[in-house]
Amino acid sequence: MKVVVNVDGGARGNPGPAAIGAVVSTPDGEVLAERSERIGVATNNVAEYRALLAGIELAAEQGATELELVGDSELVVKQLRGEYRVKDAGLKPLYAEVRSALEDFASWSIRHVRREHNKRADQLVNEALDAAG
């Protein structure tokens, strides 16, 4: 089963209070599952990777075998595609964890979109941050 996984992570301040959002949908756009949560103090990039991990886990829980990952972090997308090296020591273990998690799927792809095309995942991040007050 193929799913589309929209993910977003964000921090208010960099680093600052951070949260993640993930939405798993069918290729036709039917939402199967959503997850959002605060992750403590983190950088934006750490939050983006943590959102990817949550999205991958959520997709696996839905029984997905193929993933189309969608995110608005150009850095994370290009690192996962191998276009950029992962230089930041804090991101290296998260990158390795994402790559390892993706091995469980028959196939996967990742693409970058502008924030306005990732609205629900972005909304989940902001709702989690706002709820903490």
In the chain, where the domains are located: 2-132
Measured distance CA(113)–CA(97) in Å, rounded: 23
For the chain, the C-alpha Rg in angstroms (whole number) is 14
Tell me the pLDDT tens digit for each residue of 45-96: 999 999 999 999 999 999 999 999 999 999 999 999 999 999 999 999 999 9
User: What is the percent of the chain where pLDDT is above 90?
Assistant: 98
Measured distance CA(90)–CA(69) in Å, rounded: 22
Structural contact between residues 9 and 98, judged by C-beta atoms closer than 8 angstroms? no
Residue 85 is classified by DSSP as -
Tell me the pLDDT tens digit for each residue of 7-46: 999 999 999 999 999 999 999 999 999 999 999 999 999 9
pLDDT band (50, 70, 90) for residue 133: low
List the one residue out of 100, 94, 105, 101 whose CA is nearest residue 20.
94
Identify the CATH class of 2-132: alpha beta
Q: Look up the pTM and report it.
A: 0.96
